[in-house]
Amino acid sequence: MKLLITGAGGQLGREWVDFCKDHGVSYNSFSSTELDITDDDKVDKIIADEAPDVLINCAAYTKVDDAEENKQTALKINAESVKELADVCKRHNVKLVHYSTDYVFSGSISDKENNPEGYKEEDSTDPVNAYGYSKLKGEEAIKNSGCEFLILRVSWLCGQYGHNFIKTMLKLGSERDELNVVNDQFGSPTFADQVVEQTFELLQQNKTGLYHLSSEGITTWHHFSKEIFKQKGINVNVNPVSSAEFPTKAKRPFFSKLSTQKISNVDGVPILDWKAGLQRLLKQL
């Protein structure tokens, strides 16, 4: 199985490159500067020349707040370009792996009450911000393309590369004695190395369709930060605050836990509790 990885300079893309090197998987990779997925002709030529079995698309517009003022840019990268990727994969008989987000859901408090185990793959989508809307349009484009695909939704993505909540907390924890962290947004972190391992296992088993990849359990950003400091032995006073005290350009869902029921039914795909996943990542860092 030969892979072609786009967005290889990002948090998830770099994890894929490491995995391929460590496991002897045949691959070629392109960072977003090496291959701009909005360049349709170049995308088509590279896929034709490389002739991969699977295209792993890790390229995306992920600046949630900026997307509110740059809706067209977010749509171009997360939807229009993804449509072209899917069409190219269809033409060249390449399987497309694409990553989406928990932000395709509304994340209302009532949804938390109705879905205590998290959103299932078949639950109704209703994004509350421009980023989530652009990612949903990308999903729809893939489904309508006729290509063979795996769409994998992740939430609160954290890994050893790039910027993420864990790295931010570790930095702040080394600089301050006291922090205020939001305690009314519920979800579960997804760890980049596990995403890659789980995706590869799905590919090995020739699975297709839509899957949620996340950790077992549910937490808030406040409790997540406290666990980070606890595991690292950092003494910081973490105060719980409401989202209203941290206004952002883009509205955030109050509830974005993704159900892991479907993925847990796939043989050979272990699902770690979020605290165990955190412990594993902190060792890597």
| Contact predicate 214/278, CB 8 Å | no
Residue 239, CB-side half-sphere exposure with 13 Å CA sphere: 9
| Residues 162 and 10: beta-carbon distance below 8 Å | yes
**H helix or E strand, kind and range, residue 100:** strand 95-101
> How many Cα atoms within 13 Å fall on the side-chain side of residue 58?
26
Q: Which of 11, 21, 98 is nearest to 54 (CA)?
A: 98
Distance CA 7, CA 10 (A): 6
Radius of gyration of the chain (CA): 19
C-alpha distances (whole Å) from 28 to each of 8, 99, 197 are 9, 18, 18
Tokens at residue 164, please?
């993420």
Catalytic residue among 27, 131, 133, 211: 131
Active site residue 103: no
Q: Quick one: how many helices (H) and strands (E) in the chain?
A: 11, 12
Asked if residues 88 and 43 have their Cβ atoms less than 8 Å apart, the reply is: yes
Q: What is the set of active-site residues?
A: 131
